[in-house]
Structure 1
């Protein structure tokens, strides 16, 4: 009889398709962090914003943020050529929208997060950095699979003892786990 061991966290996340990566991993992470209005905007009207969320800074000001989610290794060639994503990333920065938090018109993204369940090679990182610097947009982060896995592990380490002592990571159970985290979260910092 052959015994199969469960896949590790990194392997499970790396195997996800984009919709599943966004819905099963990214949105639950942001929601567990205490952000306001975590919304899945992926689709025809997304304007480069796969996930929208907001938070209030230390002065109480609302900050509009988005995640641009992709899967696989991001490079400057081939199927996941970062240059093919330029137009969508710029649209995320410049397309105005009505704030889902307070309905104010003409809101704009103030923080941009590029997230993938693969790696981002140096050429692609440089391309993204140059693009945002050229547009005078300093508030951006690039998150790869290692960052995502680190956040997942920290959430489990810090909150499983309080919300589900027996929790073992699975992509299909992570959203539920993060929902429990949200109920006890006192402003975790991701």
Structure 2
């Protein structure tokens, strides 16, 4: 059985060359860590999802796409079903679906509303501001300098021009999520934080 060696680089563990890994924007190392409390949360969630089924669905089978527990799929929000102007923002509390860990007072955004929100966000084309552009450029320059230095800092991927494009894409995506017409410094910082976490796990 293969086990991830935390004392080796991701490239050594995965067995892919830098030239191949550089084609990915971000690489997240997900380890199956044994944690009793976390495992109970996962099992509780999976069991609840299988209990919350439509009549006629077989227990134990893989949950179908479009089921009541299907989250944000690639469903087209332009269909007639999504044309309802009065789409509720929040969904009603369901103890079977939401579990006992959530209180009735918790507001849970409905899937229909989220689909509409994402659809609108995807249509936006926010522009980079001078401040955010400078922050992205400085971070890329710093990452490149750090990448060429002989240090003990482990990284998950090589720093290439794609890293710069990744920072721009993530900053733009963050601005879209805020429905902002401009990519501001806060968006650049969010992108930098995500890249730092993915590259150096910090």
TM range (shorter): under 0.3
More strand by share: 1
- TM-score, length-normalised on structure 1? 0.25
- TM-score, length-normalised on structure 2? 0.24
